[in-house]
Structure 1
Amino acid sequence: MLIRKAVRYRLETTPEQENLLARAIGCVRFVWNRALAVQKSYLDHHCGTLNYAGLCELLTSWRNSEAFGFLAESPSMPQQQTLRYLTQALKEAFNKNSVKRFPNFKKKFVHDSLRYPEPGHIHFDLNPVDRDGRKVLPKIFLPCIGWVKFRKSCIIGGEIRNATVSRAGGHWYVAIQTEKEVPDPVHPSTTAVGGDRGVANLLTLSDGTMFLPVTAYRDLQKKLV
């Protein structure tokens, strides 16, 4: 059985790293909003929508342009990931069996986050020491951000799949999603019994055992009066 779970750690960022993360999140938000505007323009002109590959071509042209060259100063993986999210959001919005609505433009400071989808770009230094040989906080390497200290409150169990950096309550956090294979759970009992709730009897089991209803209020009604 395959289990996926996420562990969340608080980052100990420097002011420079906070500026880089805020800029990277701003670029992700900009890419989402501009790509969504392009998709809405296509829909308004009855031209359908661009697929993920088409959006990636637009992103490449934006990063290489003079007007939007600031996008190239931040990592490209989170920007490509937000295009995947947008593509999936549009697909679900037009699915008749889905209850998802048409995606909205993102606002600043509302669910600020970015995801690194490739685990190969994320590295850890779990036992660092300073120049005097003393242990210091472990570090995680984020592309275009550098080595960032974090509070390792629990172990990282399993194979790392992705990392999501978010901002909440004035602090920065990183959520590491892991994946591992575990044996299927087997109940130790070798027998089974069924139960049926009723009115006359509280519970009747498939082996014939019956449990009478609990009538505490009826039995103590006179005493309560």
Structure 2
Amino acid sequence: MKADMGCKYRAYPTGTQESVLTGWGHTGRALWNVALEQRVYLWEQRGYTLRSAEQCKHLTAARADLEWMGAFPAQAGQQILRNLDRAYDNFWNPEHPAAFPARKKRGHRLSLPFPGQAVDVRKLNRKWAEVRIPKLGWLRFRLSRAIGVTIRNATVSRDGNGWHISFGVHTGRKPDAPNGKPACGVDFGVAAPRSCPPRPNHASCHRP
């Protein structure tokens, strides 16, 4: 079952964990690029469509031959190949505005995806929790809000603001149908909404 809601939290890896995650991030980027090039080559040369099920077998062989690939979590590698499947499916879907899958440059945001069954979460207190990552151990993160019911996937990523852990969760709740009314914007700089009483001969209200 697919996730229908995402939750993102700030993660705080130790120095050792950060070094490992950075190395894994570059390995995952290399895996994506090689898998993409392999698919493009086979299609252009032979008209053959390669999917993740077959590439996962190649990944198993590479993990046995290459030490740096063997150190990479198998679950993350398999998830990367499945994500590539989805990128191709979105590209061919006329109802999905997606471009052709692109190579990831070295400066690209580091990202490590995992299936939900590969991770485990435990709450430490009201503000902190930990997630168990294969081959890494427990990664601490700020519990800024409740996670949800069932975790379908997890992604460890790094951007300009630091490390984060994102969870795709299944809530069992279907999306609300459009109500046909105009969109309403919210100013997040407002601490509390306040209404103004109507004034005669004045179409708008303002603060004194």
TM-score, length-scaled by structure 1: 0.69
Closer, same or farther: CA 160–88 of 1 in aligned 2, 3 Å: closer
Corresponding residue number in structure 1 for 2:150: 159
Asked if the contact 2:6–2:168 (Cα under 8 Å) also holds between the matched residues in 1, the reply is yes
Give me the whole-angstrom Cα distance separating, in 2, the residues matched to 1:110 and 1:56: 24
Partner of 1:105: 103
Superposed CA offset, 1:97-127 (max 9, x none): 665332221112323211111x232122312
C-alpha distance after superposition, 1:6-60 (max 9, x if no partner) = 2211111111101111112111111111111111221231332212221111111
Shift in Å at residue 142 of structure 1?
0.9
Cα distance in 2 for residues equivalent to 1:145 and 1:87: 26
Q: Which residue of 2 aligns with 1:179?
A: 170
The 1-side partners of 2:87 and 2:175 are apart by 33
Q: Secondary structure at the match of 2:9?
A: strand
- Equivalent residue letter for 2:29: R
2:120 alignment partner in structure 1: 123
Q: Which of 92, 112, 115 in structure 2 is aligned with 1:114?
A: 112
Q: CA deviation at 1:93?
A: 3.6
1:46 matched to which residue of 2?
46
Cα deviation for residue 174 of structure 1 reads 0.3
Gaps of 5+ in 1: 129-134, 186-215, 218-225
**Matches of residues 19-168 of structure 1 in structure 2 within 5 Å?**
19-65=19-65, 68-94=66-92, 99-117=97-115, 119-127=116-124, 137-168=128-159
Aligned residues: 178
* Alignment partners' CA distance in 2, 1:162 and 1:26: 20
Equivalent-residue separation in structure 2 for 1:120 and 1:109 (angstroms): 30
The root-mean-square deviation of aligned C-alpha atoms, in Å, is 3.0
Q: 1:38 is matched by which residue type in structure 2?
A: Q
Counterpart CA distance in 2 for 1:145 and 1:3 is 24
Cα distance change on mapping 1:143 and 1:107 into 2, 3 Å: same
Length-normalised TM-score, structure 2: 0.74
Q: 1:17 to 1:157 in 2, by over 3 A?
A: same
Query: 1:89 offset after TM fit, Å?
Result: 2.4
Which residue type is aligned with residue 90 of structure 1? Answer: Y
Give 1 or 2 for the bigger CA radius of gyration: 1
What SS does structure 2 have at the residue aligned with 1:58? helix
Distance 1:8 1:91 in 2: 25
For 1:155 and 1:11, the matched residues in 2 are separated by 15
Displacement after TM superposition at 1:173 (Å):
0.4
Paired residues of 2:3 and 2:168 also in contact (CA < 8 A): no
Give the Cα separation in 2 of the matches to 1:166 and 1:40.
27
Residue 94 (structure 1) shift: 4.6
The more displaced of 100-109 and 135-144 is: 135-144
Q: What SS class does the counterpart of residue 100 from structure 1 fall into?
A: coil
Unmatched runs of 5 consecutive residues or more in structure 2: 177-201, 204-208
Structure 1 residue aligned with 2:17: 17
